[in-house]
Amino acid sequence: MSKRKLFLISLIVILIVASIGGGYWWTHRSTDDPSHQVYVDSTNISPAISTTKTFYQSFIAAYPQLKSAIDHDSEPNTYAVPGLIQTKTLRAGTKTVGKATDMDPQGLAITPKYLIISAYSRSKKYNSVLYFMDKKTGQYVKQIVLPTTSHVGGLAYDPISKRLWVATQRGLSQATLSAYNQATLAKASFKSSHQATKFDHVVALPNIPRSSFIAYHNNTLYTGYFSQASQGKFISYPLSTSGMPRLSSRSDVDLRGKHLYDSSYTTNKQLQGVTFYEGQILFSQSFGNAHSNLLTFDNDGQKTWLDFDHDDMLKSVALPPYMEQVAVDGSDLYVLFESGSSHYRSQKLSIHADRIIKLNLKTLLGQ
């Protein structure tokens, strides 16, 4: 091969690599600017308030003690929450497509491929939604519209049955857990159908008025309800071999694991989410514009007791206001906030978090 041909081939390879890298850089740059919103099927996918750089600067200025916990082992370290400016969904009680500007993020689940965020319309004029984001790149993937206007305060992903559970509600006083199977999650897309995706399962929870948060751990679903003024409830439901929650202590239901049982705890006030990490329960506690708190307890969820009077608390970590669900993946803690929604953007806060942040738990908890 002549030197000229070799030079031309090398030049072509360099240009191809440069175009790929430049394309990624330009795509990331163009979707990271809140002043130039990018929309996919009329749902915004750019951050609502800050660029990634500006957010980090504000976050570290407000919470310098958390700088070392910001996880930089693998990008992305934050995920801009889509739909905060505008979300294409259905008008409540109809099949008519509309554009909601009051979506409020609530729940968070992590799967091998996605980060999934639930959000509801504060005015209840529009159906609630699920946003799917690529776990590796942070890019927006798709959206599912739910057949409900529920608050959808929590999500839980069961990695064995590959089923996503959503905290929902029937009427004013009946908590329900609704679920999508793997096939539905893979196929459903509002952009393609412009229809709400029917749940594959809906389970009514006995004697619980509402379900404010939900989590999966060790073949068990955990749910609870939030209270502004008094203590709430934290309840566990072991899963059967079919992956469905056992709602009573019936002995004729085959459970999916050993040493699983129903339990109910009286909890602290103002809990918004729960997750588990190396024998500890982690709760997100938040209400109002003060700092949120991450509360850690020495309990793997299988003990029959949980002392919320601080005797059993291992640590309390201050985080930005309006923290919602928290989720653990390995040693990473993913934290969702609602302060980037339209309802809170005009409030004077230490920081408005229009994104999920990823923190290193070993550093955060001092391990």
pLDDT score of 6:
54
In angstroms, the first-to-last Cα distance of the chain is: 59
Please work out, in degrees rounded to the nearest 5, the angle formed at the alpha carbon of residue 169 by the alpha carbons of 168 and 175. Answer: 100
| Residue 289 pLDDT exceeds 60 | yes
DSSP 8-state symbol, 69: G
pLDDT tens figures, 39-72: 999 999 999 999 999 999 999 999 999 999 986 6
For residue range 225-247, list pLDDT tens digits in order. 866 666 778 888 999 999 999 88
Residues 144, 11 share a domain: no
Task: Answer yes or no: is pLDDT of 110 > 70.
Answer: yes
Do residue 147 and residue 15 come from a single domain? no
pLDDT for res 321: 96
> Do 239 and 105 share a structural domain?
yes
Query: Same structural domain for residues 56 and 12?
Result: no
State the average pLDDT for the chain: 87
Is 1 in the same domain as 52?
no
Number of domains in the chain: 2
Cis? peptide before 147, omega within 30° of 0: no
175-184, 188-197, 261-270, 290-299, range with the lowest pLDDT: 261-270
Average pLDDT of the segment spanning 280-294:
91
Q: Which domain holds residue 7?
A: 1-31
pLDDT at 34: 95
Q: Are 100 and 126 in contact (CB under 8 A)?
A: yes
Q: Name the residue with higher pLDDT: 152 or 72.
A: 152
Query: Is residue 10 located within the same domain as residue 85?
Result: no
Q: Residue 200 pLDDT > 80, yes or no? A: yes
Cα→Cα distances 250→130, 217, 238, 261, Å: 34, 21, 11, 10
- What would the two tokens of residue 240 be? 């059967």
In this structure, are 14 and 91 located in the same domain? no
Rounded to whole angstroms, how far apart are CA atoms 212 and 226? 5
Global pTM value: 0.89
Same-domain status, 18 and 73: no
Task: Check which CATH number belongs to the domain holding 207 and give it.
Answer: 2.120.10
- Give yes or no: residues 208 and 76 share one domain: yes
pLDDT class for 32, splitting at 50, 70, 90?
very high
**Residues 109 and 11 reside in one and the same domain:** no
Judge if 260 and 314 occupy the same domain: yes
Q: Mind listing the pLDDT tens digit for each residue in 89-100?
A: 999 999 999 999
CB atoms within 10 A of CB 187: 13
Same domain, 119 and 154: yes
Query: pLDDT value at position 270?
Result: 76
DSSP per-residue codes, 157-224: EETTTTEEEEEEEETTTEEEEEEE-HHHHHH--HHHH-SPPPPSEEEEPTT-S---EEEEETTEEEEE
